[in-house]
Structure 1
Amino acid sequence: MQNEATLRLAIFVGLFVVLAVIERFAPRRTRPNHARRWLTNWLFVIVDTITLKALALFLPFAAVLAAADASTRGWGLLNMTELPRWLELIIVVLLLDLAIWLQHVLSHKIPALWRIHRVHHSDIEFDVTTAIRFHPVEIALSMAFKIGLVYLLGPAAWTVVVFEILLNGSSMFNHANIKLPQGFDRAVRAVLVTPDMHRIHHSVHRHEHDTNFGFALSWWDRLFGTYTQSPKDGHEKMKIGLHWQDLRPTRLLWSMAVPFFRK
């Protein structure tokens, strides 16, 4: 897995460019041109990366490194079994995706976590850059959560790489402001979260943004009763973000301070 980071970066950049181009020529919603907002969302990526690099000086602060370490030590349930590679991959993807869904639900239900997670929801628009807008504290907590799961599960490092690529790719896809034919959306939504499905999660209405928590697989929301088919205001007219905000989320320092606000 020596080239894992390069592979993931190449896929991330390539998919981001493709989705950004599609947004430009086939947008789902008309949006104003907030160049400062794009800059702020990209600055979050830089801050988040620096945070994880700093933490990696003290711990194996990456899920792939944790998987390799667990394999060396023989830790985790899957390291105690002999399964076909294809079956192990399916188990890892299903269990980790379910765990990320649960983590997302908890980030809405636990007040301290919601204060951090609402940085993501404070984005005033919904496009592919929303997928990279996360507070560094949330990124660190999310990675720590995944590392704990990896040590418990004991997956092969390559399966974690596949899952991380799927998670990052599907997150960019379902945040993209792209228009999909209704029939195609229904077909994809049977398995994966689509932009129209996840956009509802970014509605200003609390009863809507407390639904559709999935990032990759769409099954968990249907299974656990947190699925919403469509927004009450329609996709074109629905308001994105939090009810109390204005243009301040386009500023990095303001956005970084959101967890400390009382509202």
Structure 2
Amino acid sequence: MSQGSWSWMVLAGVFAGLVAAEVLWPRRQGPLSRFVRWTSNGVLFLVNGHLQSLLGVLGAGSMALLAEQEGWGLFQLVQAPAWLAIPLCVAAADLLFYARHRLLHAFPLLWRIHQVHHDDSAMDASTGFRFHPLEAVLELLTSAGVVLLLGMPVVGVAVIQLLALVVNLFQHTNVRLPGRLDHCLRYLVVTPDMHRVHHSVVRAEADSNYGVVFPWWDYLFGSYRARPAAGHAAMTVGVRGREDPGDLALFGLLLAPFRRLG
């Protein structure tokens, strides 16, 4: 079975498990109908997946092979052993992805693209699929640049991609974790309650908790926020000015970067 088939199987299994957890242990009351949201999020996921496949030669895996063949990048130059290079590369890549995420919020043009992810009217595992195709291309190209800069080994790329995939779905899940478990996990990984603050309609709260896989960078750079001011049950997720149903339907999402800022 090909690597692509395994990736799809892992994705489908993780998503199904998280949706089941949302049904059994919901954190917030979900919308009465998920059809429009799930359809839009699912179509965006399929479009982005095919788009990134078409540009696969520019992907992180291809760049890792190139870095290894040509000896490019930091960890190729220092000839670090695999047992040291892989975890350090994973941590360094996640730090750079954290920085990329902050830039998406800091610059109005990038925010126009990224706000498609934020203007979901609710937050559940499907929100992890909700990205504008322009952001998917930006992610592909910047990830390739990170791999070349670091000289990441192919195994390191596979590890960070798997972690990012699983944690991205997990952190968007509408699931209630026991308080003690959530507290402990926040030292290791971005949890749903931690990331939900990032989806608040209050911009000051949305401009926090940028962590992609690990929460450490938010603690280190002062962007960590423990909870929303209104509490998780009462907080509103989304983007102000983007509440119109037409804006949140599929074509509205595709046109969002070319319209006024939310």
How would you bin the TM-score normalised by the shorter chain? over 0.9
Shift of 1:249: 4.7
Deviation at 1:126, TM superposition (A): 0.4
Counterpart code for 2:103: L
Q: Which residue of 2 aligns with 1:110?
A: 107
Output the amino acid matched with 2:7: R
Q: Deviations over 1:64-109 (max 9, x none)?
A: 1110122112211222233232211111111100000000000000
Contact 1:37 1:249 in 2 (8 A): no
Read off the aligned partner of 2:19 and give its amino acid letter. Answer: A
Distance (whole Å) between structure 2 residues aligned to residue 92 and residue 5 of structure 1: 23
State the match for 1:20 in structure 2: 19
Residue 11 of structure 1 aligns with an amino acid whose one-letter code is V
Cα distance, 1:127 vs structure 2: 0.4
Alignment correspondent of 1:68: 65
TM-score for the superposition, normalised by structure 1 = 0.95
For residue 8 of structure 1, report the CA deviation from its aligned partner.
2.2
Q: Which moved more, 1:26-35 or 1:81-90?
A: 81-90
Aligned to 2:156: 159
Q: Is the 8 Å Cα contact of residues 171 and 192 (structure 2) preserved in structure 1?
A: yes
List aligned pairs for 1:235-246, cutoff 5 A: 235-246=232-243
Q: Count how many residue pairs are aligned between Structure 1 and Structure 2.
A: 259
Q: Which residue matches 1:47? A: 47
Q: Using the aligned pairs only, state the percent identity.
A: 36
- CA distance, structure 2, for counterparts of residue 158 and residue 227 of structure 1: 30
Cα distance between partner residues in 2 of 1:51 and 1:206: 30
Q: Which residue of 2 aligns with 1:258?
A: 256
Shift >4 Å, 4+ stretches: none
Q: Does structure 2 retain, via aligned residues, the 8 Å contact 1:124–1:249?
A: no
1:250 Cα deviation (Å)?
4.1
Cα gap change, 1:117/1:28 in structure 2, threshold over 3 Å: closer, same or farther? same
Distance 1:169 1:108 in 2: 23
CA distance in 2, matches of 1:167, 1:201: 17
- Separation in structure 2 between the aligned mates of residue 150 and residue 24 of structure 1, nearest angstrom: 38
Q: 3-state DSSP class of the match of 1:129?
A: helix
TM-score in terms of structure 2 length: 0.95
**Whole-angstrom CA distance in 2 between matches of 1:167 and 1:36:** 26
Backbone CA RMSD of aligned residues: 1.3
Helix, strand or coil for the counterpart of 2:201?
coil
**Alpha carbons 1:122, 1:249 under 8 Å: kept:** no
1:148-207 Cα deviation digits (max 9, x unpaired): 111121111111011100011111100000000000000001111100000000000011
Shift of 1:261: 1.2
Q: Is there any run of 5+ residues in structure 2 with no aligned partner, and where?
A: none
1:34 aligns with 2:45: no
The AA in structure 2 aligned to 1:88 is: A
Contact 1:188/1:194 (8 A) holds in 2: yes
Matches within 5 A, 1:92-241: 92-241=89-238
Taking the aligned partners of 1:226 and 1:179, their CA distance within structure 2 comes to: 23
Write the distance in 2 (CA, Å) between the matches of 1:74 and 1:140: 26
